[in-house]
Amino acid sequence: MKKLILLSSLLVITNFIKAEIKPCISINTDNVQLVLKVKEDGRLYQTYLGEKLNDKVNLNNLYMPRGTVSSVCTNGNEIYPVMGTEDYFDPALEVRHSDGNPTSFLKYDSHTEKSIEGGKETIIFLKDYLYPVNVNIHYVAYPEEDIIKQWTEIFHDESEPILLNRYASSMLYLESDDYYLTEFSGNWAKEMHMSESPLTYGKKVIDSKLGTRTAMLTQPFFELSLGNPIQENSGETILGTLGWTGNFSFTFEVDNNNQLRIISGINPSASAYLLEKGEKFVTPEFIFTFSPEGVGQASRNFQKWALKHSLYKGEEDRLTLLNNWENTFFDFDEEKLTELFGEAKDLGVDMFLLDDGWFGNQYPRSGDNAGLGDWEVTNSKLPNGIPYLVKKAKDTGVEFGIWIEPEMVNPKSELAEQHPEWIFKIPDREPYYFRNQLVLDLTNPEVQDFVFGIVDTLMTNNPGLNYFKWDCNSPITNIYSQYLKDRQGNLYVDYVRGLYNVLDRIKEKYPDLEMMLCSGGGGRCDFEALKYFTEFWCSDNTDPIERLYIQWGFSQFMPSKSMCAHVTNWNKDASVKFRVDVAFPCKLGFDIDLKGMDKEDRQYCTNLVKEYNRLKPVIYSPDLYRLVSPYETKHCVLERVSETKDHAILAIYDMHPDFNEQLLPTRLQGLDPDAEYKIEEICLMPGEKSNFTFDGRVFSGDYLMKVGLNLIGGKDMDSHIVELTKI
Ligand code: GLA
């Protein structure tokens, strides 16, 4: 027995000595590390993922153990496993070569490392040794924000096209006794509903096959907690997302050794992609962070990174606005709109946003069943056109923004009559409709020109226009492209690429333009789209109670200035103050009949807009502390702290407290313990005084974080905004 142990230790040692000559690659941020190692077989394996290791650790010694070597699975942890190897779980890549062979083996060839703005990029070059197929794996690590993103390039030199049956962006491995997965599912008006479940042997897949309105049922985000259910301030936590405005897929597979494999990428379902010789298939970015201190820190990492490196105009200001959708729906004319410009001005917001219903002549858009596609102003409704409205708004002192839904068409439209070949429709089959509309075929460059032209024409005719709300109310239906002919497997991928092509052209020609991403509410929201959009519409559901959950969900990844929140008449049982206070810590807007409000409520709104403008720097800070969860209590408390820790705001919501509920103090977080803070309740109703005993007093950061304040109360749908200023 002793001999056996000695022999196996010797083997291990010899292996290490041999292994030392093979490259070991570290992808790391200030606090997170991913280590990759070329092993004896020349293939590349993940040997570590977790908290950054002390510099003294010899990375060559790392070996993510795979339990006992089983007879079915003698290998594992390959960073980009391919169909055909001895690893019998789902591969990241599956290629059918031009001769019909469905197997590949990728070996490490070389790698490069270089500094790029804000981080470091590592590119690893892998090659099949039998077929001329190349795979380049890219990593970018952002040290300060602890974010790593990863994507893959696939190309080949085979004589005929190859078929990509799977083409993940990333494959990661984790080891723990238990795994808890949080997903964000829902439906129209129920976006981002969070639910957690343990992962056990086998697969759990979160994916979308909806194409355009891709996140209507589930969003491209996940959270994983190792060992225990997820917590705000403790526990090893991973947050991941895919930057792709189309079908996505995350596969979580616990294998026979209780190791977790995560495959992230475009959903390969119905998307076997035909790749021509010399063409490069670039997968979307998989973006993730690891936090040893729970999801709160992981969210701050994402928000900080998004503001600095991802969100369009992430470090710039945002416009507050008055939208007319919930107020007028399709029923408006010039007089009504110009009146609303005045109301926007009185309210103090920056912009008026004209929503759906302004276009179409032969088939006027007076409901959602006609006119989509005919982007000319309805003369009978708005006889002086958009230029008049833009000028009138500017003369009144507000900017002007406009709604479009440029990827879609109503069958009742001139566009559908003139260009039936531009529409996804299955030959010889009856089409089916989602919201009475069909989807334009953006795989076709002519259609891309048309869609770009909608924005371009509006901008050319109205140089003063500075905002678009870009909507997308239907998933891809009637899945057939006349343009792609026998390459239908490329449809879902090429659609998204066509969309990005249009957005690239818009961004290049109109770099100052700000745009809101909308999709029948929050049915489309990802970090690639947000490279073009300054913000997104979280949901059509603006009931303040339900919004608290939706915003809580999006805040896991998204910075506040990207999350559009509008005050409306949903849930009139809630006071106007409560509804306004719920929108306050996001990107503020109003979509409500202000004239119908009583004087005090209206005054409250005007005062709040002023306070919002004053507090924007702290509201837009990435440092969010979610202190009290609506999922765990009948309350919700959020704290935003400025990056210098000299300013903070608390947004406090008592939703539906229990009778005689025991109300404990809430401990604050993220403050400077040695600093003194003056605390004041702000945003009070006209004439109202604060009932908080701490109002106007000074406390140390240490006290606030260790003892806390009595913030939550027992009144139904009651809210408070509190400001902390370092003195
Ligand atoms: C979608 C959007 C709404 C509104 C309507 C207009 O549902 O989410 O905000 O713009 O379209 O038709």
Give CA–CA dist 717/721, Å, rounded. 14
Q: Under a CB-based contact definition with an 8 Å cutoff, are residues 240 and 150 in contact? A: no
Task: Give the residue-averaged pLDDT of 161-171.
Answer: 98
Q: How far is CA 378 from the centre of its chain?
A: 35
**Ligand 1 near 520 CB (within 6 A):** yes
Q: Under a CB-based contact definition with an 8 Å cutoff, are residues 536 and 563 in contact? A: yes
H runs (alpha helix) in 293-413: 294-305, 325-328, 334-347, 385-396
pLDDT at position 666 is 98
Amino acid at 33: Q
The token pair that represents 636 in the structure block = 């919700």
Mutate to test the pocket of ligand 1, among 354, 540, 547 (most ligand atoms within 8 A of CB): 540
**Ligand 1 near 405 CB (within 6 A):** no
Contacts of 11 (CB under 8 A, 6+ apart): none
Question: Which residue, chain included where needed, has tokens 């020609």?
Answer: 509
Amino acid at 192: M
Categorize the per-residue pLDDT at 370 as very low, low, confident or very high, splitting at 50, 70 and 90: very high
pLDDT at position 4 is 39
Give CA–CA dist 572/567, Å, rounded. 11
**Ligand 1 near 326 CB (within 6 A):** no
**Is pLDDT at 70 greater than 60 in this prediction?**
no
Average pLDDT, the chain: 95
Mutate to test the pocket of ligand 1, among 323, 408, 473 (most ligand atoms within 8 A of CB): 473
Task: Give the residue-averaged pLDDT of 169-181.
Answer: 97
Give CA–CA dist 165/161, Å, rounded. 13
The token pair that represents 681 in the structure block = 């309740």
Three-class secondary structure of residue 13 per DSSP: helix
pLDDT digits (tens, 9 = 90+) for 489-523: 999 999 999 999 999 999 999 999 999 999 999 99
Looking at ligand 1, which residue's alpha carbon is closest to its atom 1?
Answer: 520
pTM equals 0.96
pLDDT digits (tens, 9 = 90+) for 240-264: 999 999 999 999 999 988 999 999 9
Task: Give percent of the chain above pLDDT 90.
Answer: 93
pLDDT at position 74 is 47
Question: For 480-599, where are the E strands, in sequence order?
Answer: 514-517, 535-537, 563-567, 587-590
pLDDT at position 86 is 85
d(CA 443, ligand 1 centre) in Å: 25
**Ligand 1 near 521 CB (within 6 A):** yes
Specify the length of the chain in residues. Answer: 727
Task: Give the residue-averaged pLDDT of 227-242.
Answer: 98
Residue 54 DSSP code: P
**Ligand 1 near 325 CB (within 6 A):** yes
Q: How far is CA 19 from the centre of its chain?
A: 40
pLDDT digits (tens, 9 = 90+) for 104-113: 999 999 999 9
Half-sphere exposure of residue 468: CA atoms within 13 angstroms, side-chain side: 25
For residue 700, the surrounding DSSP H or E stretch is: strand 698-700
Which residue(s) pair with 682 in the sheet?
721
Q: Under a CB-based contact definition with an 8 Å cutoff, are residues 368 and 405 in contact? A: no
Task: Give the residue-averaged pLDDT of 284-297.
Answer: 98
H runs (alpha helix) in 121-165: none
Please give the full DSSP string across 382-403, using - where no structure is assigned: -TTHHHHHHHHHHHHT-EEEEE
The token pair that represents 89 in the structure block = 């779980």
**Is pLDDT at 613 greater than 50 in this prediction?**
yes
Looking at ligand 1, which residue's alpha carbon is closest to its atom 3?
Answer: 520
Supply φ then ψ for residue 552, to 5 degrees.
-60, -45
For residue 175, the surrounding DSSP H or E stretch is: strand 170-175
Looking at ligand 1, which residue's alpha carbon is closest to its atom 6?
Answer: 356
Give CA–CA dist 657/664, Å, rounded. 13
- Greater pLDDT, 277 or 16: 277
d(CA 323, ligand 1 centre) in Å: 11
Which among 31, 126, 37, 41 is positioned nearest to 77, based on CA atoms?
Answer: 37
